[in-house]
Amino acid sequence: MCISLGSWIPSKMFPIRLHMLLLAFLFGQGLAMSREERHKLRDQVVEMFDHAYQNYMDHAYPADELMPLTCRGRVRGLEPSRGDVDDALGKFSLTLIDTLDTLVVLNKTVEFEAAVRRVLKDVKLDNDIVVSVFETNIRVLGGLLGGHSMAIMLKKRGERMLWYQDELLHMAKELGHRLLPAFNTSSGLPYPRVNLKHGVGGPESRTGTETDTCTACAGTIILEFAALSRFTGDPVFEVHARRALDFLWEKRQRNSNLVGTTINIHSGEWVRRDSGVGAGIDSYYEYLLKAYVLLGDDLFLQRFNIHYASIMKYISQPPLLLDVHIHKPLLPARTWMDSLLAFFPGLQVLKGDIRPAIETHEMLYQVTKKHNFLPEAFTTDFRVHWAQHPLRPEFAESTYFLYKATGDPYYLEVGRTVLDNLNRYARVPCGFAAMKDVRTGSHEDRMDSFFLAEMFKYLFLLFADTEDLPFDVEDYIFTTEAHLLPLSLSVAPSSAATLGNATSEGEVDDTNFDWTCPNTRLLFPDPAYPRNLRDPIRSAVDKSCPRPLPYREPGMGRAPLRAQDFMANNPEHLELLRRMGVSLIHLKDGRVQLVQHATQAVSAVAAEDGMRFMQEMMELSSQQQKEQLPPRAIQIVSHPYFGRVVLTAGPAQFGTDLSKSSTGVRGFVTVAEPYSGCSELTNGDFVQGRIALLQRGQCMFAEKARHIQRAGAIGGIVIDDNEGSSSDTAPLFQMAGDGRSTDDVHVPILFLFHKEGNILLRALKEYREVEVLLSDKARDRGVALPEEVNNCVTHKTTPSLAGPGDKVQTSTVELDISEAAAADEGRAGEDDAGSPGETAGPSEPQESSRTEPSDEGEEPEPEGEVPEGAAPEGDDAPSGSSSSQSVDELMADWQEDLDAFQQMDEEEL
């Protein structure tokens, strides 16, 4: 049978109603979860929400977001810039506004009324600040409209908000007018950013120079703007949102019916032509279908169905969803997936296409179980590509909708897993902290507003009974930020001008439209059917660890030389390289440089072999450098943290290798005297048996290690003296030796940037006795974390990337085959005797904010940051390297892949 989305849905909306299976299906994998157990989990969700919300109110409000590790608010301009991520912050108490309707869903109507009063009293929308149009629309405008929807619902019931006179709606209308200047373009696509006070254009606004925006940024406006128009009776907002959607539709690739990721807002040219359902595009598709649900306009369903048919033809490879090129949709555009596509199974449920939703969701669940959370990006063979997890809610969203559609208790167990992992790995004393690295369990001082707006809302709805809710959720639709808009808006007055852009009949192929409600009796004739879909996927993720072979033209035989087999001292290999046009140059520091001149190959086939060899070498280099330089974890295990705070730390090239220790090193910390650690310690008796805290500077890292070791310390933590440095913005690096043998150093030494070090120093100042665990990955209250998804064996020789060759068809790779690599000079007065240091590996990228990539070029690396790789002691360490610059040039062909998360590019490379 079909469960109605609400009594206000027009008759044509029957095909997209949610579906419930027969009761027998509830026993597909055994007995259903008991009512008591569900209620226990429901109550746990409420307790976790209280922990996050109350800490925001106590420690952060009226700031936009909570910084849960340092227990303070994030105020834009007072914290180091995170680039585009900060465009969501507008000094308008973002988290509180984003959380308004969640309070009502969780039956916290008293808190909701108090929160509305705070918003009306404290929030200003005319701040002289540049914000993301996309983020401000979905979080702030959507939050105000969701809050207004809840307020009028409660007022009509006579329970609460009897004083309410549409104040939130008036604020929403003011904000809508402040966003409208962004739509003043010839195409109708909005500028990506707007100044809340000055609009767009002119020196005061600091906007209007952008030329590009992401598809999701321009196509995720219609729900909020149309709702604002229909609530207020002013059609201008809906008109502009429809115009942007019309333009995107006109610019789709007509053969594939796909859209690209980034578009020029003036010319309509596709800047990035890769197409998927994840970052940069995701909510564009979501809003086409949901606009049909909310507004009752067949046009939106027609467009969605045309797009959806192409998605299922080209992008969906169950259980995978892979990006393709819009002009060549049979050609994959990248070999990894981003976590934002986790919303798509939920959208497929709304569409009524349950089978692929089950398959993709199961793949995501298996990856989640391996890593505790979905990595920000992961490869098609399920290895970590980008290791962050900013507490994204999309997987929980799809879990809720699949349970809603199937009634399968399996999805309740999935929800339990999500809850347990949040409590075990992300919960900290001041809230919940984003994961800096899912492999180590280290944290980032970040709790985005969407965590409160979405995660707890979907989890509560998953475990709650109908009578637990203060209203009928079927009368509302969820925006992409999970804000609730009433379906009654479908019959609200609308200007005729907003409905005049129908797709011409010549463009519409009615055979593509699915107007029918799937019969779940036929879809699931066997109660075990969903399990049969899931089991093969579980096996595939568990067993997958392949290294794909390089592409080879048919009939050309096996590749003459694989990158992982290459040895620089093998004459046979050198001859093969010569025939492929690849020459080897010995550098002074013991490395060798590979340079390919395609014109010097013995044949065109050999030149192609050489190019593939160089590409494979670059891939091998990137992967092995990443594996060679994993971050380490410093976990505060004493009261009141109890292992809940984990700091990202850099390793040393000397001392105990924590990756080879199953237990790590655990001990109380104390500050060394002198703090620099550059001479014999004067508090040696107190340092003995403890982990010494040291300040960076004045001498080499190895010298510090020797001094604390002689004092009897069991480990050391070096804290950066560069105020404001943070692992959030600076790439990780290895601490190098001092030019002589470091075999005598056996204590483990880790490095913390200034921000993370201050967290530890503050804890020591407040609690005096602070115990930490130094390890390769965080432990769960003394219990080791599960292993990674894969334990792939990798080649031990690590090539490093260098500058490009001097001709157009030239590739260059440097290989570090020396036993030691060069350490640069330290600052004045330091030991400048250096030995070669190991070459750098790529660090993990910085998180992007929600769906949209940056609309500008790469953000320059902040001055004063230390490049990843072997770093000398002292502030005079170089802030960049030719190696890191050359990667951009050598990997230019892959740039479109990397652009999807523009904020991640620089650290990734």
Give me 775's structure tokens.
Answer: 């390890």
Quickly count: other Cβ atoms within 10 Å of residue 472's Cβ: 12
Quickly count: other Cβ atoms within 10 Å of residue 156's Cβ: 9
In angstroms, rounded to a whole number, what is the distance separating the alpha carbons of residues 872 and 696? Answer: 11
Catalytic residue among 282, 616, 838, 855: 282
Inter-CA distances, 18 with 13, 78, 347, 642, Å: 11, 46, 11, 43
Catalytic residue among 135, 212, 238, 855: 135
Quickly count: other Cβ atoms within 10 Å of residue 669's Cβ: 24
**Nearest 10 degrees: Cα torsion 458, 460, 463, 464:** -120
Catalytic residue among 64, 376, 776, 830: 376
Give me 905's structure tokens.
Answer: 């590019």
For residues 135 and 850, is the Cβ–Cβ distance under 8 A? Answer: yes
Catalytic residue among 353, 394, 844, 905: 394
DSSP bridge partners of 719: 695, 752
Q: Phi first, then psi: what are they for 452, rounded to 5°?
A: -75, -35
Inter-CA distances, 782 with 304, 463, 773, 775, Å: 50, 30, 10, 12
Q: Phi first, then psi: what are they for 435, rounded to 5°?
A: -85, 125
238 is catalytic: no
50 is catalytic: no
Inter-CA distances, 880 with 814, 862, 906, Å: 17, 10, 11
In angstroms, rounded to a whole number, what is the distance separating the alpha carbons of residues 301 and 629? Answer: 48
Spell out the alpha helix ranges (H) of 202-277: 215-219, 222-232, 236-250
For residues 390 and 562, is the Cβ–Cβ distance under 8 A? Answer: no
In degrees, rounded to 5, the angle at the alpha carbon of residue 431 between the alpha carbons of residues 75 and 446 is 45
Candidates 677, 587, 691, 597; CA nearest to 638 is 691
Residue 811 Rama label (left phi>0; alpha psi -120 to 50; beta)? beta
In angstroms, rounded to a whole number, what is the distance separating the alpha carbons of residues 799 and 532? Answer: 44
437 is catalytic: no
830 is catalytic: no
Inter-CA distances, 167 with 117, 118, 203, Å: 10, 12, 33
Quickly count: other Cβ atoms within 10 Å of residue 782's Cβ: 11
DSSP per position, 28-79: BTBSPPPHHHHHHHHHHHHHHHHHHHHHHHHHTTTSSEEETTTTEEE-TTTS
Q: Which single residue is written with the structure tokens 């008991």?
A: 34
Strand pairing of 691-695 and 715-719? parallel
For residues 849 and 135, is the Cβ–Cβ distance under 8 A? Answer: yes
213 labeled binding residue: no
Indicate the annotated binding residues for Ca(2+). 480
Positions marked active-site: 135, 282, 376, 394
Indicate the annotated binding residues. 480
